[in-house]
Amino acid sequence: MVLHQPEPVDEVSPVAIVCGGGSLPLRVAEAAAARGRKVVLIGIRGVADPQIARFPHAWIRVGEGGGVRRAVVRHGCRELCMIGHMTRPNLASLGFDWETLRMAGRIARLFVGGDDRLLTGVARMMEEMCGVKVVGAHEIAPEIVASEGKMGRYGAQARDLADIRTGLAVLRALGPHDVGQAVVVGEGRVWGIEAAEGTDGLLERVAAMRHNGRIRVPFGVGVLVKAPKPGQDLRVDLPAVGPQTIEGAARAGLAGVAVQADATLVAEPDKLVEAADRAKLFILGVTQPADQ
């Protein structure tokens, strides 16, 4: 896995970055800024890192679409990127403004269905409300996208590659059902599939099954495979890995982590490699086999 080299961009309008939780929003902003792009961060209150205040920024509540529109207009943004963790909110906790509430029926419908449908719907509403084009984090910050090949010191063995193929096949089979983006496979057997619990929850579960004897396979066997769903809207829901993914995989006794090249965000590549080398885990960027 090598990192993409920055290329100069000719966009002159700042890109609006709607920031959820975690370290990714700041990393995306830093990477975009480093390649000369102006950024405006729009933080979701109580969720986004307060450090977004290092950049031109605004704060909104979840559901406050008007706040996004005002920030976009004020700064003359023509592109908007949504990035970071979002717990699926319940309707009561949403701080709807009147502007957004006009779309309430449409929003309610979005909540029936998977994450992908929800996020794609929110992206479409942002485009309509704010007159922007929604772009993926990988488009404004290609430096933090995984490439094909190994990252760090350790490589995958033949056994791991077989488990990775199985994992990719399972994720492909689940694609039409808008389920999670991660699976753990060991010795050809599916140990866990991510749904609403998230990747960290999946890894914790595998660690627990190793400890309680439900999985009786030596440590250093098994792979976490992450990949976007087939047909997934990459603008709004790219899978991501960070050092905590590696730490979770190490606690689960896995051999390594495979991510889909060109479609996985790596928030902190240096720390990721450091964590993987320390835990003697491989990290591998893979492409979906075309023949399966």
Q: Which residues bind its own copies (CB under 8 A)?
A: 87-90, 93, 111-115, 166, 169-170, 173-174, 176-179, 184, 187-193, 195-198, 201, 205-206, 209, 213-217
For residue 137, the minimal CB distance to its own copies (Å) is: 23
Residue type, 177: H
For residue 194, the minimal CB distance to its own copies (Å) is: 8
Helix axes 269-279, 243-251, angle to 10 degrees: 20
Closest CA to 228 of 168, 188, 269: 168
* C-beta closer to its own copies: residue 93 or 287: 93
- Count the neighbouring beta carbons within 10 Å of the beta carbon of residue 92: 5
For residue 161, the minimal CB distance to its own copies (Å) is: 14
Closest CA to 272 of 239, 244, 240: 244
* C-beta closer to its own copies: residue 215 or 273: 215
Question: Cα–Cα distance between 75 and 67 in angstroms, integer?
Answer: 12
Structure tokens at 108: 């309610």
For residue 237, the minimal CB distance to its own copies (Å) is: 14
- Burial of 12-39, coded b for 16+ CB within 10 Å and e otherwise, reads eebbbbbbbbbbbbbbbbebbbeeebbb
DSSP state of 96: -
DSSP state of 255: S
For residue 86, the minimal CB distance to its own copies (Å) is: 12
* C-beta closer to its own copies: residue 151 or 179: 179
For residue 215, the minimal CB distance to its own copies (Å) is: 6
Question: Cα–Cα distance between 206 and 117 in angstroms, integer?
Answer: 28
Beta bridge partners of 260: 286
* C-beta closer to its own copies: residue 139 or 178: 178
* C-beta closer to its own copies: residue 34 or 208: 208
* C-beta closer to its own copies: residue 189 or 280: 189
